């Protein structure tokens, strides 16, 4: 994470520890706030979005990530459907190839 933001490839251990503490504290606070505003016992994505709605930078990043996640889901679904539709054809080619191989083997 630190290297991605321009730090050295091998940062000081103290720096990593401080950043880790800050990130854990931030996530813990956000989770507790989300639990207090959302349904009891469940943290929803909408609760997190509600908490960061006034921070334009974080809101834009979360919006981009959620949009990208939806696009990836649609792409995976389309790929799976296309792959599933072509499976019988591939299997029949494979079985024909196997039959030819077996036939040639016994000649």
Q: Same structural domain for residues 38 and 83?
A: no
Q: Same structural domain for residues 42 and 61?
A: no
Question: How high is the mean pLDDT of the chain?
Answer: 79
Q: Which domain holds residue 92?
A: 55-107
Instruction: Estimate to the nearest angstrom the gap between the alpha carbon of 7 and the chain centroid.
Output: 25
Q: Same structural domain for residues 40 and 76?
A: no
Tally of domains within the chain:
2
Instruction: Estimate to the nearest angstrom the gap between the alpha carbon of 18 and the chain centroid.
Output: 26
Q: Same structural domain for residues 11 and 34?
A: yes
pLDDT digits (tens, 9 = 90+) for 54-95: 999 999 999 999 999 999 999 998 888 777 665 554 444 444
Q: Same structural domain for residues 38 and 63?
A: no
The overall pTM is greater than 0.85: no
Residue 14 and residue 79: Cα distance in Å, rounded? 45
Q: Same structural domain for residues 10 and 42?
A: yes
């Amino acid at each position: 994470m630190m290297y991605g933001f321009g730090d050295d490839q091998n940062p000081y251990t103290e720096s990593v520890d401080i950043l880790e503490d800050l990130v854990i504290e931030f996530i813990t606070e956000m989770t507790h706030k989300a639990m207090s505003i959302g349904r009891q016992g469940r943290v929803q994505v909408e609760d997190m979005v509600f908490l960061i709605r006034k921070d334009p930078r974080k809101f834009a990043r979360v919006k981009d990530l959620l949009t990208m996640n939806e696009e990836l889901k649609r792409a995976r679904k389309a790929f799976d459907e296309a792959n599933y539709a072509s499976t019988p054809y591939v299997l029949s080619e494979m079985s024909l190839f196997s039959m030819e191989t077996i036939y040639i083997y016994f000649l």
